[in-house]
Amino acid sequence: MPANHRHHRHGDRASPDGTEGYFGPGLKFRGTTQSRQEQCAQFSEVVGSVSARLGRLNQRSEEADVDPISPMQLPDSQWKRQAATPGSREHDPGSQQVTKRHRKLLKTSPVLRPQANASLSPLSSSRRLSDVQESRRRIIREVCGKYRSNISRTITPHHVSRIYVEDRHKLLYCEVPKAGCSNWKRVLMVLAGVANSTRDINHVAVHYDNHLKRLDSFDRQGITKRLETYTKVLFIREPMERLVSAFRDKFESPNSYYHPVFGKPIISKYRVNASQTALKTGSGVTFREFIHYLLDVHRPVGMDIHWEAANQLCSPCHLHYDFIGKVETLEEDANFLLRKIGAPENLTYPSFKDGNPKAARTSTQITQHYFSQLNASERQRAYDFYYMDYLMFNYSKPYKDLY
């Protein structure tokens, strides 16, 4: 198995040389992520301000013709080097004691969706989409404002290890699996001149022969320069839909990696009277068994990038993203971005499904079907696990019985 194949599947975030990290000005290194309880306590004060602004999300920004995705400047910095402290950035579900007061802070407003208005001029449409982007950035910025003041703001190789670099169009794309990342890699390959068309790139080439560079492969100067001057892009998805999509892809379809590596220990720990065949193959993991694994502080096997929280993968409180797209508005967001970065006019975001093209896309209805297999407590704990993604990316609570 190629080394980059292992890296992708495990979500390893080691520094390029395995020993050292990069550090910003006057910042301290943190080897582990704070508990959800600590994060929620730090977020609580700022959420009121965020909620107060929701009523203005659809208002027009100032009429000035400003580039909506010009790169956001990072603070001037002299990168320092320091030995990296080993430690996982994954959540600790056992410590995520979220109070009712904190849960009530989650906004119940619907997800922002495109306004169907065929009469809008191209200029009006562009301004509307620019306003949506400013609203998304503002919510993240205000939520992170209080958070950043209480944690290290160090930017390490961990924070940039999931970011792909496209130098021709000065684009940085953070990969969030199950949020359109396969087709985004196809787009990046075309932008970089590696391929002529997204249709020419098969699944294997996308993931294991894409010739794309990651940001952590550059030296300190190269990382800093690109963070300061390139357009930083993040695409995310409703957390429960993303979770169900990952489960269906990795455990309901034949998979020579996830069944033995994840399926076998999951079945061994969470299934009573498991058959020898199931224990040997790791096939047939149920959604409830998968959720038990996800929420177990003593997991029999580690986390994986396909179901790790998006805010953990892409660190939006450290890296100020210029463009935040959503799967729910994917086509409009993606093509708006491509035009803004000067992509070829004939290049659009591909609509075909990667991986298992015959399987239906994971929809809200399909997600509800899977979560109906869980009891109220399991649904609540799963929601708590992704609480920060719901808050930072302005997603509504998916079920009425959640608090």
User: How many Cα atoms within 13 Å fall on the side-chain side of residue 5?
Assistant: 10
pLDDT top residue among 395 and 70: 395
pLDDT at 191 over 70: yes
Confidence class of residue 118 from pLDDT cuts 50, 70 and 90? very low
Mean pLDDT of 86-103: 40
Q: How many CB atoms lie within 10 A of CB 228?
A: 14
The predicted model gives 267-277 an average pLDDT of 97
pLDDT number for residue 351: 85
Average of per-residue pLDDT across 53-69: 40
- pLDDT-derived band at 311 (thresholds 50, 70, 90) equals very high
Edge-first strand order for the sheet with 213-214 is 213-214, 163-166, 171-174, 231-236, 323-326
Give the pLDDT confidence score for residue 149 in this predicted structure. 63
Q: What is the pLDDT of residue 355?
A: 64
Q: Which residues contact 183 (CB under 8 A, 6 or more apart)?
A: 198, 349, 350, 352, 354
Residue with the two structure tokens 């080993």: 86
Helices (H), ranges, 11-121: 36-53, 100-104
Output 385 or 93, whichever has higher pLDDT: 385
Q: Across residues 373-388, what is the average pLDDT?
A: 96
Give the CA distances from residue 153 to residues 175, 223, 386, in Å, rounded to whole numbers and listed in that order. Answer: 21, 16, 22
363 or 35: which carries more pLDDT confidence? 363
Q: CA 261, 262, 268, 271 torsion: positive or negative?
A: negative
Quote the pLDDT of residue 76. 38
Q: What is the pLDDT of residues 279-289, one digit of tens each?
A: 999 999 999 99
Average model confidence (pLDDT) for the chain?
78
Q: Is residue 194 predicted with pLDDT exceeding 80? A: yes
Residue 180: which pLDDT band, with cuts at 50, 70 and 90?
A: very high
What does residue 233 show for φ and ψ, rounded to 5 degrees?
Answer: -125, 140
pLDDT number for residue 16: 35
Residue 323: phi and psi, rounded to 5, are: -140, 125
pLDDT of residue 71: 55
Q: Which amino acid is at 357?
A: P
**What's the rounded mean pLDDT across residues 344-370?**
87
The runs of H, that is alpha helices, within 115-238 are: 122-148, 157-160, 181-191, 203-208, 220-229
**pLDDT confidence of residue 151:** 66
Lowest mean pLDDT among 142-146, 164-168, 390-394: 142-146
Task: Report pLDDT digits (tens) over 261-270.
Answer: 999 999 999 9
Q: Indicate if the pLDDT at residue 2 is higher than 80.
A: no
At 357 the pLDDT is 65
DSSP assignment string, 284-324: ---HHHHHHHHH-TT-SS---TTTS-HHHHH-TTTS--SEE
Across the range 137-141, mean pLDDT stands at 95
Distance CA 57, CA 362 (A): 28
pLDDT band for 183, please (50, 70, 90 cuts).
Answer: very high
Across residues 107-114, what is the average pLDDT?
A: 44
Confidence label for 143 from pLDDT (cuts 50, 70 and 90)? confident
pLDDT: which is higher, 133 or 83: 133
Check residues 17 and 259 and name the one with the higher pLDDT. Answer: 259
Is pLDDT larger for residue 246 or for residue 21?
246
